[in-house]
Amino acid sequence: AFAFAREGADVVLADVEADALADTVREVRDRVAGATVVEGRRVDVSDAAAVEALAADLRAEHGVPDIVVHNAGVGVAGSALDTGLDDWRRVVDVNLWGVVHGSRVFGRQLRERGEGGHLVAVASMAAYLPSPVLPAYSTTKAAVLAFGESLRAELAADGIGVSVVCPGIVATGIAGSTSFAGAGGAELDNRRVRAQRLFDARRFPPERVAEDVLRAVERDLPLVPSTPEARLGLVLARLTPGLVRAALRRRRR
């Protein structure tokens, strides 16, 4: 939000958490000189009808958005066999369906307008690196990458770009909402705290990822690995996939 506002874009933010949304809108207005049309809309991206209503309202009030960034995401950790169905549904609904819902409705608007535009999906290096620790999360991010690449091919003739940005470990608060298979109560809190310490210790700020999002739009890049480990992981996944699978394989004890 800050990055696009500083570039002179009119910014509309959407989030499921009303208080966090209001805080971000206020911060953008206060910290970015000349920021315009900075407003927030509460929406659950897993709800197709809610996303369609958001798109219709924005079109009526401001016109079709030139750039749409799908950045909503939740984490689920734990083995594939131990992850409950509710957690599977939650991570798929937000991480995958959220991108599909927004891309379908805003992509149609951009195509009908006929002036180009750009769709961005923030995935993860987990999209191309198998993980025995984050199988549900990795599944959704791999699906987002495949969807983005397919959608890019579909919309190319319309002058609409599609980019997938894949960060590694970034100092955000995602660990605070991550579910851990088999953990609840105090144990869940402890795991979240330990995970958050890892993210914070990495000290890779979200501002750096925002720069990569802007670069993806400006250069119409299909795939942008963000963070050094994400770039290295992409090279290894493409050149030595067998070694990557061997290194990540978990052995039963």
Q: Which residue of the set 4, 128, 137, 180 is catalytic?
A: 137
Cβ atoms of 120 and 213 within 8 Å: the answer is: yes
Rounded CA-CA distance 94/81 in Å is 20
Q: Which of 127, 125, 107 is nearest to 67 (CA)?
A: 107
Query: 177: which 2 tokens?
Result: 């909402």
Annotation marks residue 137 as catalytic? yes
Rounded CA-CA distance 139/44 in Å is 21
Rounded CA-CA distance 183/209 in Å is 30
Rounded CA-CA distance 101/93 in Å is 10
Cβ atoms of 137 and 124 within 8 Å: the answer is: yes
- Residue 80, judged by CB atoms within 10 A of its CB (0-12, 13-18, 19+), counts as middle
Tell me which residues are annotated as active site. 137
